[in-house]
């Protein structure tokens, strides 16, 4: 079964089971300061899992493009990917364990659907602890579906609980579905959950009934939800009997080109195979991030920094196998052709290729010199009896040769050395205003927080957006939004810095709207109606019947998932702290409510 067939099959199955298909969200999250990228299909749905009403109803399904940066170093093995797609179905307070498990089982095993061999499927459920009892119920449902007892395992929280790691938000016990590749066990303890690759996790049903509070308590949510995620590439691989996701049709054409250009063969030499996997994964990821609806170019900041790391790491590995040619241009058409459902890639091709080429040119002439410099450093450190590259040297590699810290760490590791990261950061902070540490913490996962203060800042963001359109013109469009309980950050299209006068004017308009104490009203309507009524939106929704529109008095109207405060009078005084450049043609405002 081809990947596109699997995608359609999944959607078809859940539509037949009364789920509305909704559009996936952009890779760069809006209004969620806790992560740099959308990491799962549930991510954009957090407000609804927390109890907001979803315009498309209580049963939803979709596919979602995801980026996970926590595993970049694992990429190169057979299963880990930075960019991947997730198929998902959701119950927002509708069905719970019984129906979720039965549907998963039917879709996986029925002759009409995936028809996977039950003998090769294994299921794990939560073994229970002080927060939540042992999930006998789910185990019982699997058994009723015909699963043998020795194919069901009880595992602890670290395996069978899904939610924002260490953060607040919706979470709960899950049941995970594994496919046995029939590879030999890596040890006598090898069983589903073992990362060796024998058992591939293909699907996860999360029973989201808790909210993890900031003081680490698990409180019951208003309603019980189900959040599932099936790995599209992994499932396609097991359906076809492939031992790796790289054998699917999303990767094979890219690998062929890399083989042609490098003259090396995939699958022969371990190091070269690993290099080829890294190049394809990283370049696809960079392509999707730059080409996202809210895409960003390589930079030293947040998502831009991740793209920079990916491209530069891909370049280093391409050099290792003898490729000198630009990777972006070389792979662009293939990436577009192999991803027909993401029309934004084709639309933004020129922009993406230009950004990649610029980045490759910027780095190319440094890379060789930097590698020479690096090989000089190592013997010196050895002589000094040190086992770590000092921070100031790692910083010099970064500053002069453009080596992302992680690349230096990786090069050092290959030689059996470490890097003094603290020293690097000290040197970095001295030279730059923004530290990498800030961003690093953020992409470890986590969820939008819906505290009162965040809600207020979210409503203030709508006022700001409209005020900017009034003062600067209708070309102002949201390019990104990031809200923490302390401040809002809003990126928007505008070709030049704002004058002091314009900043003052915007501030004044927002504060007047606050003083008016407008009602914030939420309405559901069709995309068409929202457009007709002049609601501001990205209008990327293609499938959902209806969208949610928030109106603030007669002042602003915007398509948005919420949540918001009820009246603008609650906001306090709005103050712009900073207006600065974000990237070319995009300005950034940081503001607070006092």
**What residues line the site for ligand SER (CB under 6 A)?**
40-42, 88, 162, 204, 206, 227-229
State in angstroms the smallest separation of the CB of 53 from ligand SER.
21
State in angstroms the smallest separation of the CB of 176 from ligand SER.
8
Give the orientation angle of helix 3-16 with respect to helix 97-109, to 10 degrees: 140
Judged by beta carbon, residue 42 or residue 306, the one nearer ligand SER is: 42
Distance from C-alpha of 216 to C-alpha of 130, rounded to nearest angstrom: 13
Contact 248, 242 (CB under 8 A): yes
Q: In the structure encoding, which two tokens stand for residue 449, read together? A: 């927080």
State in angstroms the smallest separation of the CB of 12 from ligand SER.
19
Residues 6+ apart with CB under 8 A from 321: 258, 262, 264, 272, 275, 276
Strand partners, 228: 205
Distance from C-alpha of 289 to C-alpha of 293, rounded to nearest angstrom: 9
- Burial letters for 424-444: b for 16+ Cβ neighbours within 10 Å, e otherwise? bbebbeeeeeeebeebbebbb
State in angstroms the smallest separation of the CB of 416 from ligand SER.
35
Q: What are phi and psi of 178, to 5 degrees?
A: -120, 150
Closest-approach residue to ligand SER (CB): 229
Length of the chain: 594
Judged by beta carbon, residue 40 or residue 352, the one nearer ligand SER is: 40
Distance from C-alpha of 310 to C-alpha of 304, rounded to nearest angstrom: 10
Q: What are phi and psi of 127, to 5 degrees?
A: -80, -10
State in angstroms the smallest separation of the CB of 203 from ligand SER.
8
- Nearest-CA neighbor of 462 among 546, 522, 504? 522
State in angstroms the smallest separation of the CB of 561 from ligand SER.
17
Q: CA separation (Å) from 24 to 21, 28, 183, 225, 281?
A: 9, 12, 35, 19, 21
For 172, the enclosing helix (H) or strand (E) is strand 169-180
Contact 391, 421 (CB under 8 A): yes
State in angstroms the smallest separation of the CB of 408 from ligand SER.
31
Judged by beta carbon, residue 176 or residue 359, the one nearer ligand SER is: 176
Judged by beta carbon, residue 171 or residue 289, the one nearer ligand SER is: 171
State in angstroms the smallest separation of the CB of 201 from ligand SER.
8
Q: In the structure encoding, which two tokens stand for residue 132, read together? A: 């939540």
State in angstroms the smallest separation of the CB of 229 from ligand SER.
3
State in angstroms the smallest separation of the CB of 208 from ligand SER.
9
Q: In the structure encoding, which two tokens stand for residue 472, read together? A: 């600067």
Distance from C-alpha of 124 to C-alpha of 192, rounded to nearest angstrom: 7
Q: CA separation (Å) from 586 to 154, 476, 480, 491, 492?
A: 50, 9, 10, 6, 5
State in angstroms the smallest separation of the CB of 66 from ligand SER.
8
Q: CA separation (Å) from 525 to 59, 539, 545, 552, 567?
A: 18, 13, 8, 16, 21
Judged by beta carbon, residue 49 or residue 276, the one nearer ligand SER is: 49
Judged by beta carbon, residue 42 or residue 559, the one nearer ligand SER is: 42
Distance from C-alpha of 359 to C-alpha of 307, rounded to nearest angstrom: 10
Judged by beta carbon, residue 78 or residue 228, the one nearer ligand SER is: 228
Judged by beta carbon, residue 10 or residue 305, the one nearer ligand SER is: 10
Judged by beta carbon, residue 177 or residue 321, the one nearer ligand SER is: 177
State in angstroms the smallest separation of the CB of 417 from ligand SER.
35
Q: What is the DSSP letter of 156?
A: -
Distance from C-alpha of 351 to C-alpha of 360, rounded to nearest angstrom: 14
State in angstroms the smallest separation of the CB of 228 from ligand SER.
5
Q: What is the DSSP letter of 193?
A: T
Task: Give CA angle at 20 (16, 26), nearest 5°.
Answer: 130
Judged by beta carbon, residue 66 or residue 419, the one nearer ligand SER is: 66
Distance from C-alpha of 115 to C-alpha of 13, rounded to nearest angstrom: 13
What HEC string does 49-83 produce? HCCCCCCCCCEEEEEEEEECCCCHHHECECCCCCE
For residue 549, give the 3-state DSSP assignment: strand
Contact 367, 315 (CB under 8 A): yes
Judged by beta carbon, residue 362 or residue 444, the one nearer ligand SER is: 444
Judged by beta carbon, residue 124 or residue 204, the one nearer ligand SER is: 204
State in angstroms the smallest separation of the CB of 264 from ligand SER.
35
State in angstroms the smallest separation of the CB of 170 from ligand SER.
10
Judged by beta carbon, residue 205 or residue 579, the one nearer ligand SER is: 205
Judged by beta carbon, residue 229 or residue 561, the one nearer ligand SER is: 229
Judged by beta carbon, residue 66 or residue 405, the one nearer ligand SER is: 66
């Amino acid at each position: 079964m081809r990947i596109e067939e699997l995608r359609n099959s999944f959607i078809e199955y859940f539509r037949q089971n009364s789920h509305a298909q909704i559009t996936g969200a952009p890779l760069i999250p809006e209004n969620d300061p806790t992560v740099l990228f959308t990491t799962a299909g549930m991510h954009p749905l957090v407000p609804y899992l927390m109890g907001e009403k979803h315009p498309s109803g209580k049963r939803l399904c979709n596919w979602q493009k995801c980026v996970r940066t926590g595993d970049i170093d694992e990429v190169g093995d057979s299963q880990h990917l930075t960019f991947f797609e997730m198929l998902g179905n959701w119950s927002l307070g509708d069905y719970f364990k019984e129906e979720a498990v039965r549907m998963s089982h039917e879709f996986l095993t029925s002759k009409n659907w995936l028809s996977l061999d039950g003998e090769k499927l294994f299921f794990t459920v939560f073994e229970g602890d002080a927060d939540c009892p042992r999930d006998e119920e789910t185990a019982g449902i699997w058994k009723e579906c015909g699963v043998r007892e020795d194919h069901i395992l009880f595992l602890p929280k670290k395996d069978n609980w899904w939610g924002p790691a260490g953060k607040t938000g919706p979470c709960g016990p899950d049941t995970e579905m594994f496919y046995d590749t029939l590879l030999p066990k890596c040890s006598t303890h090898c069983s589903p959950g073992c990362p060796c690759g024998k058992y591939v996790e293909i699907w996860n049903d999360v029973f989201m009934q808790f909210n993890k509070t900031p003081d680490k308590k698990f409180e019951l949510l208003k309603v019980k939800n189900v959040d599932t995620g099936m790995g599209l590439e992994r499932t396609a691989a097991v359906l076809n009997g492939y031992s790796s996701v790289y054998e699917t049709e999303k990767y094979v054409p890219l690998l062929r080109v890399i083989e042609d250009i490098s003259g090396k063969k995939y699958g022969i030499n371990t190091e070269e195979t690993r290099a080829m996997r890294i190049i394809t994964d990283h370049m696809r990821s960079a392509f999707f991030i730059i080409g996202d609806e809210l895409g960003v170019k390589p930079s030293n900041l947040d998502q831009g920094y991740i793209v920079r790391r990916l491209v530069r790491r891909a370049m280093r590995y391409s050099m290792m196998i003898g490729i000198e040619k630009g990777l972006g241009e070389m792979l662009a058409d293939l990436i577009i052709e192999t991803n027909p459902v993401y029309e934004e890639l084709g639309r933004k091709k020129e922009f993406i290729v230009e950004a990649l080429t610029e980045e490759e040119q910027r780095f190319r002439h440094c890379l060789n010199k930097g590698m020479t410099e690096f090989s000089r450093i190592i013997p010196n450190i050895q002589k000094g009896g040190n086992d770590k590259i000092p921070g100031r040297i790692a910083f010099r590699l970064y500053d002069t040769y453009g080596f992302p810290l992680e690349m230096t760490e990786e090069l050092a590791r290959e030689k059996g050395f470490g890097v003094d990261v603290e020293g690097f950061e000290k040197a970095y902070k001295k030279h730059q205003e923004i530290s990498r540490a800030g961003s690093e913490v953020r992409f470890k996962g986590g969820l939008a927080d819906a505290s009162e203060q965040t809600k207020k800042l979210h409503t203030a963001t709508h006022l700001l957006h409209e005020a900017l359109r009034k003062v600067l013109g209708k070309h102002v469009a949201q390019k990104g939004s990031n809200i923490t309980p302390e401040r809002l950050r809003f990126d928007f299209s505008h070709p030049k810095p704002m004058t002091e006068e314009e900043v003052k004017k915007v501030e004044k308009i927002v504060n007047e709207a606050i003083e008016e104490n407008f009602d914030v009203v939420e309405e559901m309507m069709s995309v068409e109606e929202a457009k007709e009524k002049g609601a501001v939106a990205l209008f990327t929704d293609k499938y959902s019947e209806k969208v949610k529109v928030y109106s603030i008095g007669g002042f602003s109207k915007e398509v948005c998932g919420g949540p918001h405060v009820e009246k603008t009078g609650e906001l306090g005084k709005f103050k712009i702290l900073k207006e600065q450049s974000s990237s070319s043609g995009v300005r950034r405002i940081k503001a607070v409510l006092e």
